Every structure is written in structure tokens, then in C-alpha cells.
Amino acid sequence: MSSLPDSNSKGPSSKSVGCVFHNPAMAGSRTRSVMLIAHAIESGMLGKSEVRALDGLSASGLRARRWLNELPAESASRLIATVGDMTQTALDWAMATEADFPAQQGELHPLLGDLRTSVLSQGWHWIDIDPFGSPVPFLDTAIQALARRGVLEVSATDTAALSGSSKNPLMRRYGARVRLDKLKHDSGLRVLMATVARAAARHDRSVEPLLSIWDSHHLRVSVRVRRVMEGANDVEASLGWRVYSPNQAEVEAAIAAGLLPASDADELPIRCFLPLSHPVAREDLRISGPMWIGPMGDVETMASMTEERVLQMCAPTYEEGDLAEWSEKDFEAERRRVVRAIRHIAGESTAISAHHLIAVDELASWQEKGSPPSPRRMVELLREKGYNAALSHYAEPSFRTDAPWSEIIDSMKKISATDV
Ligand SMILES: C[S@@+](CC[C@H](N)C(=O)[O-])C[C@H]1O[C@@H](n2cnc3c(N)ncnc32)[C@H](O)[C@@H]1O
């Protein structure tokens, strides 16, 4: 377990000069980071020898400390972790806690300086970028500093921009627009993913999404980055538009591009994706994008994030008794928080390639039905019909499915009929 408290109260502790920033609300993000790096090492994604990992904007260094302390011993022993920050106080703090509670395996080193240049001091297998605000200024050099096979984790806290509330910063930083609706956070994640993918392409790299999460005050995408010329040239194939309330011609274009099942031709869904090549009008308020329109996660990576595994790796147990001031109840609450960080992710892996992400509230109002159907029930019915469907780890009660729109509506009607 982590040797520093990393609980789930809301909001940053401090940003002021001389203080080291620590945001307890990022505990879930750090838990997923531990799970992700464990899977990447164990699956061979990062090769077979040492793993050079940079917690690039580290503040207290808690993220890197958690990698070292919580990874299984064999994986931790391969980890050469570095905490990077432009403030000496932050690095002093990170290294002092390491001196007091040394990691049992692996190594921890400091890297002082502006990440935009310090990242180039060596090659890395793993780079974590967790800024105040937008990650855009850090992307180009981080991608150049990645080894042939690497993973990049990118957070953004400029949520007002990415979810479409602040339109000018969104256009300025990400060159995109997002419709303010039930899927605005998913659209924001896809815009961020597209931004990372384009940055990778500029440096002849391609990305494969591993995990994408919107979590209260921040968005985060994690990608595998490879040096593949063809992949880099192909980035536009994974980019496109999201259209709210598409017309018949748009639905047909989506079907022709493989972005909806062919049987969707008869019923118009709430939304669909369109390829980047599809002409869209600048003033059309139904359109969001350009954004990533491919899967936002990797099946195996997401499937590895099980409740059992997260409890085993990241949760404290009362018997350990190494936090004397904690009661049994505190331990139980912490275990629940740890589980919440990965809730639905393993199950969602089965439907992560599906084109429909459906918020049940919106589905009910779209169909002019009173109460929204239970997303769990929708998933059960669609699975019984043989489709992929799963609850999603998303800000709204929602599910993903590859079922045709007509089957989604049919399932909803069945649930409404039995609820009467
Ligand atoms: C949001 S905090 C990081 C939080 C941390 N990753 C965590 O999990 O708690 C951002 C940190 O980046 C540092 N920082 C800001 N701009 C930087 C830059 N250009 N280069 C290096 N560090 C920077 C700040 O000093 C701050 O400690």
C-alpha cells in the first residue's frame, strides 16, 4: 500500500509558493496508474528488462512512490522511477519521504527542471504528464523522449475547455469544438486523445489507446506509443466528427464508413460518428470534433483492472496495522475507495469497441419516456440478444453496446412495459 495518505477528499491541498501540491482527489487516478503500469510490465508491453518511468510533473512524488510500493515485487524491481518537477521543494519532499520510507524494490531519482526540455535528458518507457490545466505544452517533447516502445499518460484539468463550456480555449488549444450535452465528457476525452495522436504523428509515432477516464475534475488518456511510420500516416483514419441528431444521409455515411451497424439504416440514433473526410458546416451546432472515433481503451488492459487485483495491489488491510491512527472503519472506507477507482472498467472492456455510448437519461427523453431504463437491465437484455453490451465507467449512468439502434429501442420498450 502507499506509504502516504492518498484518500479521496475533494480538491487540491495547495498550489501556493513554497508548498508542495497534493490533490487527494487524484487518488483514484494514481490507483489506475499503478494498475496500468503493472499490466504493461507483466504483459511484456515494455520489453523484458528495466523500465525507465518518469512521473513528469510529480509534485509530492506520490504517484511514483505508489508505483514502487504497490507493484508486485518482481515488477517493482525492474522499475527505475524518476520524479520530475520545476520546484526544488517538491523534489526535496519526494526524496525525503523516500529516505524515510525507502522502496523495497526499484529505484527513485529526482529530475529538476522544466519538463518541456528536461524530458529530453534521456529516453523513457513511461511518461506521466499531470499538469495544472492543459497538457498541450508538454506533448511534443514527451513523445520525442519516449523509447521505441513506450506508454504516455496524459491528464488535463482544463475541463471547462475540453467539455465545451469554454469554447475559445477549446478551439485555441485543441482546435476542436464540443457540443454541451450528456456525452460532453466523452467528447472531451476523444478530443484530448486526438490531440495526443496528432502530436505522436508529428514525430512519426502512432498511438493505441489503453484507457480513457473522466473523473470529476480531470480527464486522462493513457496510450501506447510506437515508432511506426505507416501508423503515423494513418492517424486521420481514427479521427472524425460526432453528430447529435444525425439525418438519414449522415447515418448512411456512418454505416458506409463502418461507424454504425448496417441495420441502423431504418432508425435514426441520438448520435453517430462521421469520418474526418465528411464535410461538416462550421456553424452546425450538432457537431463535435475533430475527435478520436476509434476505441478509447484496450481490451486486455481494461480487463486486467479487476476488483480482486486492485484490492490485492493497492488496498490497505486492517491486519497490517501500519497506520496506527486508522480504525477498522477507515480501512474499510479506503478499500471501497480503491475499488471505486476501477469500477466497471474490466466489464466495460468487452464493449469498448462498440460505437454506441448511451446515457440512459438521454435515451429516455429522446424516446419521450418518463423514467430512464436501468443501464444494468439494458445490458442484460442486449446480451441475451447476442450483442456486446457493458456498463460504462462514465460520469453519467450509461452503457456501451454494438447493438443496432432498433434493438436498443426495443430493449428499452421491453423494460418500460415490465416496469408499468
Ligand atoms: C498538478 S501538479 C502534479 C500533481 C501530481 N502529479 C500528483 O499526482 O499529485 C503539477 C506539478 O507540476 C509542476 N510544474 C508546473 N509546470 C512545470 C514545468 N513546466 N516543468 C516541470 N514541472 C512543472 C508544479 O510545480 C506542480 O508540482
Q: Which of 236, 266, 297 is the last residue of a domain?
A: 236
Query: What's the pLDDT at 330?
Result: 85
Q: Is 46 contained in some domain? A: yes
State the burial class of residue 126 (Cβ atoms within 10 Å of its Cβ: 0-12, 13-18, 19+): buried
Largest Cα–Cα distance of the chain, in whole Å? 66
Query: What's the pLDDT at 261?
Result: 87
Please give the Cα distance from 49 to 391 (Å, whole number): 37
Which residue ranges of the chain lie beneath pLDDT 70? 1-22, 229-233, 265, 319-324, 419-420
Using an 8 Å Cβ cutoff, are 35 and 342 in contact?
yes
Together in a domain, 232 and 362: no
Q: Is 207 contained in some domain? A: yes
Q: Is 322 contained in some domain? A: no
Give the CA angle between residues 222, 228, 229 to the nearest 5°.
130
248: Cβ contacts below 8 Å, ≥ 6 apart = 268
Please give the Cα distance from 83 to 88 (Å, whole number): 11
172: Cβ contacts below 8 Å, ≥ 6 apart = none
* Whether residue 89 has its Cβ less than 6 Å from ligand 1: no
Using an 8 Å Cβ cutoff, are 68 and 108 in contact?
yes
Q: Is 65 contained in some domain? A: yes
Please choose from 9, 86, 111 the residue to mutate so as to test ligand 1's pocket, defined by most ligand atoms within 8 A of CB. Answer: 86
Q: At what angle do helices 328-340 and 27-42 cross, to 10 degrees?
A: 60
Residues 239-266 pLDDT 10s: 999 999 999 999 999 999 999 988 776 7
Q: Is 121 contained in some domain? A: yes
* Ligand 1 atom with least separation from CA of 59: 27
CA of 328 to the centre of ligand 1 (A): 34
319: Cβ contacts below 8 Å, ≥ 6 apart = none
* Whether residue 142 has its Cβ less than 6 Å from ligand 1: no
Together in a domain, 49 and 190: yes
State the burial class of residue 247 (Cβ atoms within 10 Å of its Cβ: 0-12, 13-18, 19+): exposed
Q: Is 132 contained in some domain? A: yes
What CATH number has the domain bearing residue 200?
3.40.50.150
- Could you tell me the residue range of the domain that residue 410 belongs to? 355-420
Please choose from 17, 57, 82, 86 the residue to mutate so as to test ligand 1's pocket, defined by most ligand atoms within 8 A of CB. Answer: 57
Together in a domain, 231 and 364: no
Q: State the DSSP code for 297.
A: S
Report helix, strand or coil for 26.
helix
Q: Is 178 contained in some domain? A: yes
Please choose from 16, 21, 26 the residue to mutate so as to test ligand 1's pocket, defined by most ligand atoms within 8 A of CB. Answer: 21
Q: Is 266 contained in some domain? A: no
Q: State the DSSP code for 100.
A: H
Report helix, strand or coil for 365.
helix
User: Which residue has a Cα nearest atom 18 of ligand 1?
Assistant: 114
CA of 58 to the centre of ligand 1 (A): 5
* Whether residue 334 has its Cβ less than 6 Å from ligand 1: no
Please choose from 85, 93, 220 the residue to mutate so as to test ligand 1's pocket, defined by most ligand atoms within 8 A of CB. Answer: 85
Query: What's the pLDDT at 416?
Result: 83
The H or E element that residue 83 is part of is strand 79-85
Query: What's the pLDDT at 325?
Result: 75
What CATH number has the domain bearing residue 397?
3.30.56.70
Together in a domain, 42 and 191: yes
Query: What's the pLDDT at 144?
Result: 97
Q: Which of 192, 216, 236 is the last residue of a domain?
A: 236
Query: What's the pLDDT at 245?
Result: 97
* Whether residue 59 has its Cβ less than 6 Å from ligand 1: yes
Q: Please tell me the total count of domains within the chain.
A: 2
Query: What's the pLDDT at 263?
Result: 76
Peptide bond into 397 cis (omega under 30): no
Q: Which of 182, 210, 236 is the last residue of a domain?
A: 236
* Ligand 1 atom with least separation from CA of 87: 25
